[in-house]
A and B are shown apart, each in its own frame.
Chain A
Amino acid sequence: QVQLVESGGGVVQPGRSLRLSCQASGFNFRTYAMHWVRQIPGKGLEWVAVITFDGDNKFYADSVKGRFIISRDNSNNTLFLQLNSLKTDDTALYYCARDLGGADHWGQGTLVTVSA
């Protein structure tokens, strides 16, 4: 069955960087666009970024544009999110999700805490 497992979260100081990973299994990863969505605990969902199936096109939320980079390795069924110049406002649970117009499968999330 479809599985998405995020990793790489942790506690980091403002201005520092972090790289999140999402390991996919149970489906043909290279044929799907993939998203990152984040959620401040207790708050709503915020879309972060998407990458097309081949990695050729990437789109970002204005709040992360120029700081975050989405990428993928289709050989290893892995999605990445590079978080640079982190701010306290970036503290959230980060989910990866498979695109089917809507997002039809989600991981369990990895928590990023930005704190001095």
Chain B
Amino acid sequence: EIVLTQSPDSQSVTPKERVTITCRASQSIGRSLHWYQQKPGQSPKLLIKYASQSFSGVPSRFSGRGSGTDFTLTINSLEVEDAATYYCHQSDSFPRTFGQGTTVEIK
């Protein structure tokens, strides 16, 4: 099973700051890594697919990069509405797995 480890577990950030979340895979997964945003009481929403492809309708301040075992999600100029938990997810092999989540709070 591929283990995805996110860091940090949580982050408290001022609006307009840049946020970077990392996701490390226990073995190489190519670019089969996706990022989701989940706000309290809501279902997860896809932000980035295949490491760096923005999903339709996602604001341009969200971007992803990486390949192999190391991936990052960046939120440029954080907005208040970005307060949420972010998850990475691999589709390289079964069983599919998720990272443990990173909670972004607004200062």
Contact = CB atoms under 8 A, between A and B. Distances in A.
Contacts of B89: 45, 47, 102-103
A41 to B, nearest CB: 10
Interface residues of A, number: 22
B95 A104 contact: no
Contacts of A116: none
B49 A101 contact: yes
Given A47-B95, A62-B95, A104 B55 contact: yes
Interface in B57-107: 87, 89, 91, 94-101
Contacts of A59: 94-96
B57 to A, nearest CB: 11
Contacts, number: 61
A96 to B, nearest CB: 10
B46 A104 contact: yes
B24 interface: no
Given A44-B101, A45-B44, A101 B34 contact: yes
B50 A95 contact: no
A100 B49 contact: yes
A101 B95 contact: no
Given A44-B100, A61-B95, A101 B32 contact: yes
Nearest to B47: A102
Given A44-B101, A45-B87, A102 B49 contact: yes
A44 B94 CA distance: 18
A37 B95 CA distance: 12
A47 B98 contact: yes
Contact of B34 (A102, A106, A108): A102
Contacts of B1: 62
Interface of B: 1, 32, 34, 36, 38, 43-46, 49-50, 55, 87, 89, 91, 94-101
